[in-house]
């Protein structure tokens, strides 16, 4: 049994009485079978005001880690789909690495600049894939990856051109 705490989940809530709150939105999914929620008001409140609205900091203690349902191959396929849709040719996904965050697991997939006859020239960015579903949830901006690819090409121009001669 684990007692991991993830702070920083902030949500709106309505105070029903001194011991009960109604949250305006659900807590993040994938926190395990059972949760303990610790609620602390972020702003001072009058004890007599029970129906006021306030923002609360919510600490979650999960008794089990979020499940990883996506395997590395599926994460790589998902990242490559994103790469094909957002970048020109010569970019491809590298080997995914699983990162276990308190709220959800993620696959971090490096984006490589590649050339035929040379192979991988270098890493130019990252794509983050949800650990449970084949969905891209974050990425290095494509324009930054393209700028880094141009820089890598200039640095390794001789090696790349020799491969084509």
How do the pLDDT tens digits run along the chain, 165 residues long?
334 444 445 455 666 655 555 655 555 555 443 344 555 555 555 554 444 444 444 454 444 556 778 999 999 999 999 999 999 999 999 999 999 887 889 999 999 999 998 999 999 999 999 999 999 999 999 999 999 999 999 999 999 998 888
C-alpha span between 96 and 126 (Å, rounded): 10
CB 58 within 8 A of CB 27: yes
Residue ranges of domains in the chain: 4-62, 72-164
| CA–CA gap between residue 17 and residue 124 (Å, rounded) | 53
pLDDT for residue 18? 57
So what's the pLDDT on residue 65? 57
pLDDT of residue 81: 97
And the tokens for 51? 């129906």
Give the CA angle between residues 74, 77, 81 to the nearest 5°. 140
> How confident is the model at residue 69, as a pLDDT?
87
């Amino acid at each position: 049994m684990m007692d991991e705490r993830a702070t920083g989940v902030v949500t709106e809530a309505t105070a029903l009485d001194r011991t009960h709150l109604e949250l305006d939105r659900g807590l993040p999914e994938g926190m395990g079978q059972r949760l303990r929620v610790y609620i602390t008001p972020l702003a001072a409140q009058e004890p007599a005001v029970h129906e006021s609205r306030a923002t609360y900091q919510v600490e979650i203690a999960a008794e089990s880690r979020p499940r990883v349902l996506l395997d590395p191959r599926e994460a790589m396929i998902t990242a490559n789909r994103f790469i094909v849709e957002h970048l020109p040719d010569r970019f491809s996904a590298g080997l995914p690495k699983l990162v276990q965050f308190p709220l959800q697991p993620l696959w971090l997939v490096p984006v490589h600049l590649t050339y035929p006859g040379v192979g991988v020239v270098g890493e130019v960015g990252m794509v983050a894939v949800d650990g449970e579903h084949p969905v891209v949830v974050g990425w290095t901006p494509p324009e930054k990856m393209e700028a880094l690819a141009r820089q890598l090409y200039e640095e390794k121009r001789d090696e790349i051109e020799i491969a084509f001669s």
